[in-house]
Structure 1
Amino acid sequence: MTGLIQRSKVASFVKAAGFSLIALGISGCSSVQNTLDSRPNEGPCPVVASLYDASRKVQINGNETFENVGFTGEIVGVRSFCRYVGDDPIKMEVSIDFAMGRGPNAQGDTHNYDYFVSVTRRGRAVIEKETFPLQVTFPKGADRVTVSDTVENIVIPRADSSISGSNFEVFVGFVLNEEELEFNRAGKRFRVNAGQD
Protein backbone atom coordinates (compact mmCIF):
# COMPACT_ATOMS: atom_id res chain seq x y z
CA MET A 1 0.00 0.00 0.00
CA THR A 2 1.28 3.46 -0.79
CA GLY A 3 -0.01 6.94 -0.23
CA LEU A 4 -1.66 6.38 3.15
CA ILE A 5 0.31 9.16 4.84
CA GLN A 6 0.44 12.64 3.34
CA ARG A 7 1.33 15.98 4.83
CA SER A 8 -1.19 18.17 3.05
CA LYS A 9 -1.11 20.88 5.66
CA VAL A 10 1.94 21.77 7.71
CA ALA A 11 1.46 23.89 10.78
CA SER A 12 4.73 24.78 12.46
CA PHE A 13 5.05 26.92 15.54
CA VAL A 14 8.49 27.99 16.69
CA LYS A 15 9.04 29.66 20.04
CA ALA A 16 12.25 30.73 21.74
CA ALA A 17 13.00 33.19 24.54
CA GLY A 18 9.97 35.41 24.01
CA PHE A 19 10.27 35.22 20.22
CA SER A 20 7.53 33.47 18.27
CA LEU A 21 6.97 32.75 14.61
CA ILE A 22 3.91 31.08 13.11
CA ALA A 23 4.25 29.60 9.64
CA LEU A 24 1.32 27.99 7.86
CA GLY A 25 1.54 26.25 4.51
CA ILE A 26 -1.88 25.15 3.31
CA SER A 27 -2.82 22.98 0.36
CA GLY A 28 -5.79 20.69 -0.11
CA CYS A 29 -9.05 20.77 1.81
CA SER A 30 -9.99 21.14 5.46
CA SER A 31 -8.60 19.07 8.29
CA VAL A 32 -10.04 15.83 9.61
CA GLN A 33 -11.43 17.69 12.63
CA ASN A 34 -13.56 19.89 10.38
CA THR A 35 -15.63 16.98 9.05
CA LEU A 36 -19.38 17.61 8.82
CA ASP A 37 -20.49 14.08 9.76
CA SER A 38 -21.72 14.11 13.38
CA ARG A 39 -22.13 10.34 13.79
CA PRO A 40 -19.90 8.77 16.46
CA ASN A 41 -16.79 6.80 15.44
CA GLU A 42 -17.24 3.05 14.95
CA GLY A 43 -14.63 2.48 17.66
CA PRO A 44 -11.49 3.89 19.29
CA CYS A 45 -8.74 5.72 17.46
CA PRO A 46 -5.43 3.97 16.78
CA VAL A 47 -2.77 4.27 19.48
CA VAL A 48 -0.34 7.09 18.65
CA ALA A 49 3.10 7.38 20.30
CA SER A 50 6.74 8.27 19.75
CA LEU A 51 9.19 5.36 19.57
CA TYR A 52 11.54 5.54 22.56
CA ASP A 53 14.70 4.73 20.55
CA ALA A 54 13.85 7.43 17.98
CA SER A 55 12.38 10.12 20.24
CA ARG A 56 15.69 12.01 20.61
CA LYS A 57 18.33 13.17 18.15
CA VAL A 58 21.79 14.23 19.32
CA GLN A 59 24.33 15.29 16.71
CA ILE A 60 27.88 14.73 18.00
CA ASN A 61 30.85 15.91 15.95
CA GLY A 62 33.74 13.84 17.35
CA ASN A 63 34.07 12.34 20.83
CA GLU A 64 31.03 12.15 23.12
CA THR A 65 31.68 15.35 25.04
CA PHE A 66 29.33 18.28 25.54
CA GLU A 67 31.66 20.60 23.58
CA ASN A 68 31.12 18.40 20.48
CA VAL A 69 27.30 18.47 20.58
CA GLY A 70 25.74 20.06 17.50
CA PHE A 71 22.00 20.23 16.94
CA THR A 72 19.64 18.20 19.12
CA GLY A 73 15.96 17.38 19.12
CA GLU A 74 13.42 15.63 21.32
CA ILE A 75 9.80 14.66 20.75
CA VAL A 76 7.99 15.96 23.82
CA GLY A 77 4.36 15.37 22.86
CA VAL A 78 2.12 13.64 20.32
CA ARG A 79 -1.58 14.36 19.81
CA SER A 80 -3.99 12.82 17.34
CA PHE A 81 -7.53 12.99 16.05
CA CYS A 82 -9.31 10.33 14.02
CA ARG A 83 -12.64 9.94 12.27
CA TYR A 84 -14.39 6.90 10.80
CA VAL A 85 -18.01 5.84 10.41
CA GLY A 86 -19.65 2.91 8.64
CA ASP A 87 -17.19 1.13 6.34
CA ASP A 88 -15.17 4.31 5.73
CA PRO A 89 -11.41 4.23 6.15
CA ILE A 90 -9.90 5.76 9.30
CA LYS A 91 -8.85 9.35 8.62
CA MET A 92 -6.30 10.77 11.04
CA GLU A 93 -4.16 13.76 11.75
CA VAL A 94 -1.19 13.75 14.10
CA SER A 95 0.44 16.77 15.76
CA ILE A 96 3.97 16.40 17.12
CA ASP A 97 5.66 18.74 19.61
CA PHE A 98 9.44 19.01 19.38
CA ALA A 99 12.06 20.65 21.62
CA MET A 100 15.11 21.53 19.52
CA GLY A 101 18.55 22.51 20.79
CA ARG A 102 21.65 24.19 19.41
CA GLY A 103 24.79 22.82 21.12
CA PRO A 104 28.29 24.36 21.34
CA ASN A 105 29.41 22.65 18.09
CA ALA A 106 26.32 23.52 16.00
CA GLN A 107 27.17 25.21 12.72
CA GLY A 108 24.82 28.02 11.68
CA ASP A 109 21.36 29.00 12.90
CA THR A 110 19.29 26.68 10.68
CA HIS A 111 19.13 22.90 10.76
CA ASN A 112 17.09 20.34 8.83
CA TYR A 113 15.59 17.57 10.94
CA ASP A 114 13.84 14.58 9.39
CA TYR A 115 11.13 12.66 11.21
CA PHE A 116 8.92 9.74 10.25
CA VAL A 117 5.31 8.72 10.72
CA SER A 118 4.53 5.01 10.39
CA VAL A 119 1.26 3.08 10.43
CA THR A 120 1.39 -0.49 11.69
CA ARG A 121 -1.03 -3.33 12.13
CA ARG A 122 -1.07 -3.62 15.94
CA GLY A 123 1.84 -5.82 17.04
CA ARG A 124 2.70 -6.65 13.42
CA ALA A 125 4.59 -5.26 10.45
CA VAL A 126 4.60 -1.67 9.22
CA ILE A 127 1.87 -0.94 6.67
CA GLU A 128 3.41 2.34 5.55
CA LYS A 129 6.12 4.75 6.67
CA GLU A 130 6.72 8.28 5.40
CA THR A 131 9.55 10.71 6.17
CA PHE A 132 9.02 14.46 6.49
CA PRO A 133 11.60 17.27 6.54
CA LEU A 134 11.41 19.92 9.24
CA GLN A 135 13.62 23.00 8.90
CA VAL A 136 14.21 24.91 12.13
CA THR A 137 15.84 28.33 12.38
CA PHE A 138 17.08 29.41 15.79
CA PRO A 139 16.62 33.13 16.55
CA LYS A 140 19.81 35.05 17.21
CA GLY A 141 21.21 34.14 20.63
CA ALA A 142 18.72 31.29 21.22
CA ASP A 143 19.95 27.78 21.91
CA ARG A 144 16.51 26.20 22.38
CA VAL A 145 13.21 26.40 20.51
CA THR A 146 9.95 24.48 20.53
CA VAL A 147 8.28 23.46 17.30
CA SER A 148 4.93 21.81 16.50
CA ASP A 149 4.20 20.10 13.19
CA THR A 150 0.95 18.53 11.98
CA VAL A 151 0.56 15.67 9.50
CA GLU A 152 -2.92 15.42 8.04
CA ASN A 153 -4.60 12.99 5.66
CA ILE A 154 -3.39 9.77 7.22
CA VAL A 155 -5.86 7.30 5.71
CA ILE A 156 -6.03 3.72 7.01
CA PRO A 157 -8.27 1.41 4.97
CA ARG A 158 -10.57 -1.07 6.73
CA ALA A 159 -12.03 -4.26 5.28
CA ASP A 160 -15.41 -3.48 6.86
CA SER A 161 -17.08 -1.84 9.86
CA SER A 162 -15.94 -4.64 12.20
CA ILE A 163 -12.31 -3.42 11.99
CA SER A 164 -11.75 -0.65 14.53
CA GLY A 165 -8.90 1.75 15.12
CA SER A 166 -7.64 -0.45 17.96
CA ASN A 167 -6.23 -2.77 15.28
CA PHE A 168 -3.65 -0.14 14.24
CA GLU A 169 -0.84 1.92 15.74
CA VAL A 170 0.82 5.11 14.54
CA PHE A 171 4.41 5.78 15.58
CA VAL A 172 6.56 8.88 15.13
CA GLY A 173 10.29 9.42 15.57
CA PHE A 174 13.42 11.09 14.24
CA VAL A 175 15.31 9.63 11.32
CA LEU A 176 18.63 8.64 12.92
CA ASN A 177 22.00 7.33 11.74
CA GLU A 178 23.54 4.27 13.43
CA GLU A 179 25.60 6.31 15.92
CA GLU A 180 22.60 8.38 17.01
CA LEU A 181 20.48 5.25 17.39
CA GLU A 182 23.12 3.51 19.52
CA PHE A 183 23.49 6.66 21.66
CA ASN A 184 19.75 6.56 22.40
CA ARG A 185 19.64 2.80 23.00
CA ALA A 186 22.47 3.12 25.51
CA GLY A 187 20.35 5.62 27.49
CA LYS A 188 22.91 8.41 27.06
CA ARG A 189 21.90 12.06 26.94
CA PHE A 190 23.30 15.56 27.35
CA ARG A 191 21.39 18.05 29.47
CA VAL A 192 21.93 21.79 29.15
CA ASN A 193 21.74 22.32 32.91
CA ALA A 194 23.96 19.36 33.91
CA GLY A 195 26.46 20.29 36.60
CA GLN A 196 24.86 23.66 37.35
CA ASP A 197 23.57 24.75 40.76
Structure 2
Amino acid sequence: MIIIRTFLAGLFAGLILVLGACDTFSSAVPPPPCPRPAIYAETANVTKFREGPGRDLIDVVAEGKIIGFSGGCNYDFDEETGEGVLTVEISVDFEAHRGTANKDRKAKFDYFISVTDQNHNVLSKGVFDVDIEFPGNRTRAGYTDDDPPVNLEIPLQKGQIGEDFNILIGFQLSNDELTFNRRQRKISVGPSK
Protein backbone atom coordinates (compact mmCIF):
# COMPACT_ATOMS: atom_id res chain seq x y z
CA MET A 1 0.00 0.00 0.00
CA ILE A 2 2.84 2.42 0.74
CA ILE A 3 4.40 1.78 -2.67
CA ILE A 4 1.13 2.58 -4.48
CA ARG A 5 0.66 5.83 -2.57
CA THR A 6 4.23 6.89 -3.35
CA PHE A 7 3.80 5.93 -6.99
CA LEU A 8 0.46 7.76 -7.26
CA ALA A 9 1.92 10.83 -5.55
CA GLY A 10 4.91 10.73 -7.91
CA LEU A 11 2.64 10.24 -10.94
CA PHE A 12 0.46 13.16 -9.84
CA ALA A 13 3.52 15.42 -9.29
CA GLY A 14 4.91 14.42 -12.70
CA LEU A 15 1.57 15.15 -14.37
CA ILE A 16 1.52 18.64 -12.82
CA LEU A 17 5.05 19.32 -14.09
CA VAL A 18 4.19 18.15 -17.60
CA LEU A 19 0.99 20.21 -17.74
CA GLY A 20 2.82 23.25 -16.36
CA ALA A 21 5.56 22.84 -18.94
CA CYS A 22 2.99 22.84 -21.75
CA ASP A 23 1.86 26.30 -20.69
CA THR A 24 5.47 27.51 -20.51
CA PHE A 25 6.16 26.51 -24.12
CA SER A 26 3.03 28.21 -25.46
CA SER A 27 3.15 31.47 -23.47
CA ALA A 28 3.97 34.71 -25.28
CA VAL A 29 6.70 37.15 -24.37
CA PRO A 30 5.50 39.33 -21.47
CA PRO A 31 4.56 42.89 -22.43
CA PRO A 32 6.93 45.75 -21.60
CA PRO A 33 6.42 47.41 -18.21
CA CYS A 34 4.03 50.27 -17.51
CA PRO A 35 5.30 53.79 -16.68
CA ARG A 36 6.30 54.35 -13.07
CA PRO A 37 3.55 56.25 -11.21
CA ALA A 38 4.31 58.24 -8.06
CA ILE A 39 2.57 60.65 -5.73
CA TYR A 40 4.42 63.98 -5.87
CA ALA A 41 5.39 64.60 -2.21
CA GLU A 42 4.93 68.39 -2.12
CA THR A 43 1.40 68.07 -3.48
CA ALA A 44 0.25 64.88 -1.72
CA ASN A 45 -1.73 66.91 0.85
CA VAL A 46 -3.96 69.95 0.74
CA THR A 47 -5.56 72.09 3.43
CA LYS A 48 -8.56 74.20 2.44
CA PHE A 49 -9.28 77.22 4.63
CA ARG A 50 -12.38 79.36 4.78
CA GLU A 51 -12.11 82.73 3.08
CA GLY A 52 -10.24 85.35 5.02
CA PRO A 53 -6.81 85.70 6.59
CA GLY A 54 -7.23 83.05 9.32
CA ARG A 55 -5.01 79.97 9.12
CA ASP A 56 -5.73 78.32 12.47
CA LEU A 57 -7.48 75.00 13.14
CA ILE A 58 -10.82 76.81 13.46
CA ASP A 59 -10.39 78.08 9.87
CA VAL A 60 -9.91 74.65 8.25
CA VAL A 61 -12.74 73.63 5.91
CA ALA A 62 -11.17 70.34 4.81
CA GLU A 63 -7.89 68.49 4.52
CA GLY A 64 -7.17 66.04 1.75
CA LYS A 65 -4.52 63.40 1.24
CA ILE A 66 -3.74 61.22 -1.77
CA ILE A 67 -3.17 57.81 -0.23
CA GLY A 68 -2.72 55.56 -3.25
CA PHE A 69 -3.51 54.64 -6.81
CA SER A 70 -4.11 51.59 -8.97
CA GLY A 71 -4.28 50.83 -12.64
CA GLY A 72 -2.60 49.21 -15.57
CA CYS A 73 -1.49 49.77 -19.12
CA ASN A 74 -1.92 48.39 -22.62
CA TYR A 75 0.43 48.63 -25.60
CA ASP A 76 -0.67 48.96 -29.23
CA PHE A 77 2.34 48.79 -31.59
CA ASP A 78 2.55 48.98 -35.38
CA GLU A 79 4.77 46.01 -36.24
CA GLU A 80 6.19 47.70 -39.35
CA THR A 81 7.17 51.07 -37.86
CA GLY A 82 7.65 50.08 -34.21
CA GLU A 83 5.61 53.14 -33.21
CA GLY A 84 2.48 52.90 -31.16
CA VAL A 85 0.32 54.10 -28.33
CA LEU A 86 0.55 53.22 -24.66
CA THR A 87 -2.80 53.53 -22.89
CA VAL A 88 -2.59 53.89 -19.11
CA GLU A 89 -5.62 53.63 -16.81
CA ILE A 90 -5.35 55.12 -13.31
CA SER A 91 -7.69 55.30 -10.30
CA VAL A 92 -6.67 57.55 -7.41
CA ASP A 93 -7.45 56.96 -3.70
CA PHE A 94 -8.14 59.88 -1.35
CA GLU A 95 -8.68 60.46 2.33
CA ALA A 96 -10.41 63.62 3.54
CA HIS A 97 -10.93 65.20 6.95
CA ARG A 98 -13.70 67.68 7.63
CA GLY A 99 -12.50 70.81 9.41
CA THR A 100 -14.33 72.83 12.05
CA ALA A 101 -15.17 75.56 9.49
CA ASN A 102 -16.92 73.03 7.20
CA LYS A 103 -20.67 73.66 7.25
CA ASP A 104 -21.93 71.68 4.23
CA ARG A 105 -20.24 68.32 5.02
CA LYS A 106 -18.50 68.29 1.62
CA ALA A 107 -14.93 68.67 0.43
CA LYS A 108 -13.92 69.63 -3.10
CA PHE A 109 -10.38 69.11 -4.33
CA ASP A 110 -8.63 69.38 -7.67
CA TYR A 111 -5.85 66.94 -8.49
CA PHE A 112 -3.53 66.41 -11.43
CA ILE A 113 -2.01 63.52 -13.28
CA SER A 114 0.97 64.37 -15.46
CA VAL A 115 3.23 62.40 -17.77
CA THR A 116 6.94 63.26 -17.83
CA ASP A 117 9.92 61.96 -19.74
CA GLN A 118 13.10 60.71 -18.04
CA ASN A 119 14.42 64.29 -17.86
CA HIS A 120 11.28 65.31 -15.90
CA ASN A 121 9.90 67.42 -18.75
CA VAL A 122 6.10 67.52 -18.51
CA LEU A 123 4.66 66.01 -21.70
CA SER A 124 1.00 66.25 -20.69
CA LYS A 125 -1.07 67.15 -17.66
CA GLY A 126 -4.74 66.80 -16.80
CA VAL A 127 -6.55 68.38 -13.87
CA PHE A 128 -9.57 66.59 -12.37
CA ASP A 129 -11.99 67.47 -9.61
CA VAL A 130 -13.18 65.23 -6.82
CA ASP A 131 -16.09 65.84 -4.43
CA ILE A 132 -16.14 63.96 -1.14
CA GLU A 133 -19.13 63.93 1.21
CA PHE A 134 -19.06 63.40 4.97
CA PRO A 135 -22.27 61.51 5.86
CA GLY A 136 -23.84 61.98 9.28
CA ASN A 137 -21.41 63.15 11.93
CA ARG A 138 -18.36 61.69 10.22
CA THR A 139 -15.28 63.85 10.09
CA ARG A 140 -13.25 61.47 7.91
CA ALA A 141 -14.08 59.92 4.56
CA GLY A 142 -12.28 57.91 1.90
CA TYR A 143 -12.93 58.01 -1.81
CA THR A 144 -11.57 56.36 -4.94
CA ASP A 145 -11.91 58.29 -8.20
CA ASP A 146 -12.50 55.34 -10.49
CA ASP A 147 -15.86 55.94 -12.17
CA PRO A 148 -14.51 56.23 -14.78
CA PRO A 149 -10.77 55.90 -14.18
CA VAL A 150 -8.44 58.40 -15.84
CA ASN A 151 -7.14 57.21 -19.23
CA LEU A 152 -3.83 58.51 -20.56
CA GLU A 153 -2.66 57.91 -24.13
CA ILE A 154 1.09 58.20 -24.59
CA PRO A 155 2.42 58.14 -28.17
CA LEU A 156 5.47 55.89 -28.50
CA GLN A 157 8.36 56.25 -30.91
CA LYS A 158 10.23 53.17 -32.10
CA GLY A 159 12.08 51.65 -29.15
CA GLN A 160 10.18 53.52 -26.43
CA ILE A 161 8.43 51.62 -23.64
CA GLY A 162 6.58 52.55 -20.46
CA GLU A 163 9.79 52.77 -18.41
CA ASP A 164 10.74 55.80 -20.53
CA PHE A 165 7.97 57.81 -18.83
CA ASN A 166 6.89 58.77 -15.31
CA ILE A 167 3.39 59.52 -14.09
CA LEU A 168 3.05 62.06 -11.28
CA ILE A 169 -0.10 62.44 -9.18
CA GLY A 170 -0.83 65.30 -6.78
CA PHE A 171 -3.27 67.96 -5.69
CA GLN A 172 -3.51 71.02 -7.92
CA LEU A 173 -2.47 73.64 -5.38
CA SER A 174 -2.63 77.42 -5.37
CA ASN A 175 0.58 79.29 -4.51
CA ASP A 176 -0.73 79.85 -0.96
CA GLU A 177 -1.54 76.14 -0.53
CA LEU A 178 1.90 75.11 -1.78
CA THR A 179 3.57 77.61 0.56
CA PHE A 180 1.48 76.26 3.46
CA ASN A 181 2.56 72.67 2.63
CA ARG A 182 6.21 73.66 2.49
CA ARG A 183 5.92 75.54 5.79
CA GLN A 184 4.28 72.52 7.47
CA ARG A 185 7.24 70.34 6.50
CA LYS A 186 9.66 72.75 8.21
CA ILE A 187 7.94 72.88 11.60
CA SER A 188 10.25 71.79 14.40
CA VAL A 189 8.85 69.82 17.33
CA GLY A 190 11.66 70.60 19.73
CA PRO A 191 15.39 70.46 20.21
CA SER A 192 17.15 67.45 18.78
CA LYS A 193 19.33 65.33 21.02
Q: Same fold (TM over 0.5)?
A: yes
CA distance in 2, matches of 1:142, 1:100: 11
Counterpart in the other structure of 2:150:
152
Root mean square deviation, CA, Å:
2.0
The residue that corresponds to 2:34 in the other structure is 45
Structure scoring higher RCO (CA < 8 A, sep ≥ 6) equals 1
Offset at residue 80 of structure 1 (A):
2.7
Q: CA deviation at 1:188?
A: 4.4
Tell me how far apart the structure 2 counterparts of residues 129 and 75 of structure 1 sit (CA, whole Å).
17
2:112 to 84, 91, 116: 116
From the superposition, tell whether residues 105 and 188 of structure 1 become closer, same or farther in structure 2 (CA, over 3 Å): farther
For these two proteins, the number of residue pairs brought into alignment is: 151
C-alpha separation between the residues in 2 aligned to 1:102 and 1:142? 8
Question: Which residues in structure 2 correspond to 1:25-36 (within 5 Å)?
Answer: none
Distance 1:180 1:40 in 2: 46
Gaps of 5+ in 2: 1-26, 78-82, 187-193
Hey, which of these two has a bigger chunk of helix by percent?
A: 2
Q: 1:75 aligns with which of 62, 66, 70?
A: 66
Residue 176 (1) aligns with residue 161 (2): no
Q: For residues 142-188 of structure 1, what are the alpha-carbon distances to aligned partners after superposition, in whole Å with 9 as ceiling and x for unaligned?
A: 1110001133321101012x111111011111111111101112234
Rate the CA distance shift 1:172–1:40 in 2: closer, same or farther, 3 A: farther
Give 1 or 2 for the bigger CA radius of gyration.
Answer: 2
Q: Alpha-carbon deviation of 1:60?
A: 2.6
Residue 63 of structure 1 and its aligned partner are, at CA, apart by 3.2
Name the SS for the 2:32 alignment partner.
coil
State the identity as a percent. 28
TM-score, with length taken from structure 1: 0.70
Which of 140, 164, 178 in structure 2 is aligned with 1:167? 164
TM-score by length of 2: 0.71
